Structure 1
Amino acid sequence: MQPKRYLVALSGMSPQVVTETLYGLLQREGEAFLPTEIHILTTAKGAERVHRALLDPILGHFHHFCRDYDLEDRLALAPQHIHVAQAEDGRPLSDIFSQHDNTAMADFICETVRRLSEDADIQLHASLAGGRKTMGFFLGYAMSLFGRPGDELSHVLVSEGFESRPDFFYPRPSDRLCGESTVEVMLADIPFVPMREELPKNFLTHKRSYSEAVQIIRAAEQPADLKVDMAGKRVRASGIDISMSNSLLAFYAWMVDRAKSAQGGLAYPFEHEPNRVYGLEFTRFYEAVSGGEMRVNDRTARDEVEGMDRRNFEVRLSRVNTALRNALGNRLAEKYTLKYIDTERGVKQYGVALAPEEIEIK
């Protein structure tokens, strides 16, 4: 089965960057990255130029390129592969004229790369050539956010005198006129820093804005800021809400409260099992979160009557940490997860490794 390879290219008013990039990919040493599909990210004006210059049935240079290099059955560039950014009001973005347009373009590029990268069987090669400079920046950053091992980023370089010629699209095998046999088209590979593993899982599977993705990455470098509102049933870390059930929120609030009051973590494994003291402490937080509602068959009711056992403790701790990582990503969640805390006495304890001033609980 032929591997799926997508070329993701930017295009503004110079769509020849697409065929130049294709030519550069064919000329690379070693195994060539021959895309099975070409996806062009552009504006409404750019799309008109792409249709006219590349896809015209007679004059389209994409069709000429495929015939010249015997690729007619191997490259796919269809009208549905030309993706046009939308303005805030939902209309096709004509060009980038304002900050609102710039934000819309950033979100559009970020979301397109995220969506294309969802399929693990597709390898991406993104080209920064084409479009406005900000578009190239956003594409490069989107590849850092969502790129995977095996994905590539490049910029196409063309010999001086040819890069600005509106009639030059690629070196043709039979063309020896006007010195075009000496033209060089090559790709400069651009290594990118992968940050995909730092993003929450829902950022990889659901549409999110460019600014939200940047916020997640930046937050990992900022001081911790944790707010737990038991009455409001809300946990907010670094400005990001984390969804938890009443039981998990109460368990986390219990741990966070101990850090806030400098009580330290919870000794584990329990000296006595089940631990009646821990069971009573936890149920007080559960009542505060649930509004005093306790069901007879609820696990928390057994904690109050019988004490907390090791299994209940471990299950809740694991689920709390999973909820934090799903919402914050691995790197940012590390600030807030429940973990082993070393003590001077060498007693194994679990808690939140935060200073009291980094915590607000009510």
Structure 2
Amino acid sequence: MATNSKKQRLLLALCGLNPQIITEGLYCLTVKQKINFDKIIIFTTDECKENIASNLKRELKRMSKKFKFKPPIFNEECIYSVDEEISADGKENKFAELVFKTIWELTSNDRNVLFCLLSGGRKTMSVDLATAMTLLGGEHDKMFHVLVSKEFESKRLYFPENEKDGQNIKLIEKPFIKLRNKFLQQVGKADISFSNLIENIQREIDQSFTLQPLVFVVKERKVKIGDKIIELPPFQFAVYYFFATKGRFIPGGKNFSRTNSERLWKIYKRVASSYGHLERVRKFGFQNGIFDFEVIQKAISVIRRKIRTLLNNSPIAEYYIISVEGSYGKKLYGLKLPSNYIYVKKGNKEYVASKI
């Protein structure tokens, strides 16, 4: 990393066809708060680039002269653009990659302090910039949102010409979590893509949790997660045991197979405390060898609530509840907990469920 005691303030902004958001942000920061900038950097698309360059240069010159401050460096080279936000086939987020690579380069030089304006451009662009700053932003970097009243917006001015108009523009600092120093090994790879960096960091976050084994004590219908224990009613225990020991996410709803229905019924018969329990479930939820999945779904909801309560609503509970993935009609059900953490206790011994 480059080091130098003199800091360089950079104003980063998103922009569509109208670059007023940059001069409005600059008004709040430089005119009101007396924060001067060395350079302005803009992210946009090719179709907007020419309009931004000509109009913004003119208005920056006029603004700096009126309010007597040294204008930041701004020219065509300060405008970073892509031909389209997302590729035609939808597989590549070109804008996100542009923002990520640029932020990566800027934050690799610790002289640079970034002031980012999230307003302007499309909402998806704001998400890209905010995400990049969360992953790469430095200790002194900041993000802001510019709020402009309808009264001032209707005037279509680039910046307030007087103090009264200036009251119609507000700047709100948006705090954000900074992960750069937590994942230096990943951030340090210049050739990694934005999407791959996110995947790698998410994997590290997932692995940073200390996962406890999930143990099913079948004979007692008890479930143990670390040192926490809960006893479940027969059908809830059977449903939880079934999905946990399945080892993968499986289709639910109308796609819940006869084979899975038969296996769940077999488990339930083993743990049912009485013939009455068995007949009640058979009558209302198990017809012609197929389970009514609504009955299973109700049990899943209750199990989720109990597991979350058992784990004090910790984020780690998401690994132990029966989760749902996919869209309507194609939903899959299962546990996110790796299968090697799931055990079944038989007698005095615990066995990895996937190996039984």
TM-score (norm 1): 0.52
Structure 2 match to 1:235 = none
Q: Identify the match of residue 194 of structure 1 among 164, 173, 178.
A: 178
Q: Identify the match of residue 84 of structure 1 among 81, 85, 91.
A: 81
Structure 2 match to 1:21 = 25
Structure 1 match to 2:64 = 66
**Structure 2: 5+ residue runs without aligned partners?**
209-337, 343-356
Residues 17 and 213 of structure 1: CA distance in aligned 2, closer, same or farther (over 3 Å): same
The alignment partner of 1:100 has SS state of coil
1:171 aligns with 2:160: yes
8 Å Cα contact 1:154/1:187 also seen in 2: yes
1:129 aligns with 2:131: no
Structure 2 match to 1:50 = 52
Residues 95 and 195 of structure 1: CA distance in aligned 2, closer, same or farther (over 3 Å): closer
Alignment-mate amino acid for residue 106 of structure 2: L
Distance in 2 separating the partners of 1:183 and 1:96: 37
The alignment partner of 2:188 has SS state of helix
Distance in 2 separating the partners of 1:222 and 1:101: 25
Among the aligned pairs, what percent are the same residue?
25
Distance in 2 separating the partners of 1:216 and 1:28: 41
8 Å Cα contact 1:199/1:213 also seen in 2: no
CA deviation digits over 1:187-245, x for unaligned, max 9? 10000100102324353351322111211221124359xxxxxxxxxxxxxxxxxxxxx
Distance in 2 separating the partners of 1:69 and 1:50: 21
8 Å Cα contact 1:53/1:61 also seen in 2: yes
Alignment-mate amino acid for residue 102 of structure 2: T
8 Å Cα contact 1:27/1:186 also seen in 2: no
Give 1:111 shift. Answer: 1.1
1:146 aligns with 2:144: no
Alignment-mate amino acid for residue 216 of structure 1: N
Residues 109 and 99 of structure 1: CA distance in aligned 2, closer, same or farther (over 3 Å): farther
Residues 207 and 69 of structure 1: CA distance in aligned 2, closer, same or farther (over 3 Å): farther
The alignment partner of 1:33 has SS state of coil
The alignment partner of 2:13 has SS state of strand
8 Å Cα contact 1:159/1:183 also seen in 2: no
The alignment partner of 2:157 has SS state of coil
Asked which structure has the greater RCO (Cα within 8 Å, sep 6+), the reply is 1
Distance in 1 separating the partners of 2:105 and 2:195: 17
Alignment-mate amino acid for residue 52 of structure 2: V
Distance in 2 separating the partners of 1:103 and 1:95: 6
Give 1:172 shift. Answer: 1.7
Residues 52 and 27 of structure 1: CA distance in aligned 2, closer, same or farther (over 3 Å): closer
The alignment partner of 1:149 has SS state of coil
Structure 2 match to 1:108 = 98
Q: Identify the match of residue 72 of structure 2 among 56, 64, 75.
A: 75
Structure 2 match to 1:219 = 203
Structure 1 match to 2:109 = 119
Structure 2 match to 1:328 = none
Distance in 2 separating the partners of 1:84 and 1:117: 19
Give 1:33 shift. Answer: 2.7
Residues 162 and 37 of structure 1: CA distance in aligned 2, closer, same or farther (over 3 Å): same
8 Å Cα contact 1:66/1:75 also seen in 2: no
Count of equivalent residues: 209
Distance in 2 separating the partners of 1:210 and 1:99: 18
Distance in 1 separating the partners of 2:154 and 2:132: 27
Give 1:104 shift. Answer: 1.0
Give 1:25 shift. Answer: 0.6
Structure 2 match to 1:158 = 148
RMSD: 2.8
**Structure 1: 5+ residue runs without aligned partners?**
86-92, 175-179, 225-353
TM-score (norm 2): 0.53
Distance in 2 separating the partners of 1:27 and 1:131: 23
Residues 98 and 189 of structure 1: CA distance in aligned 2, closer, same or farther (over 3 Å): farther
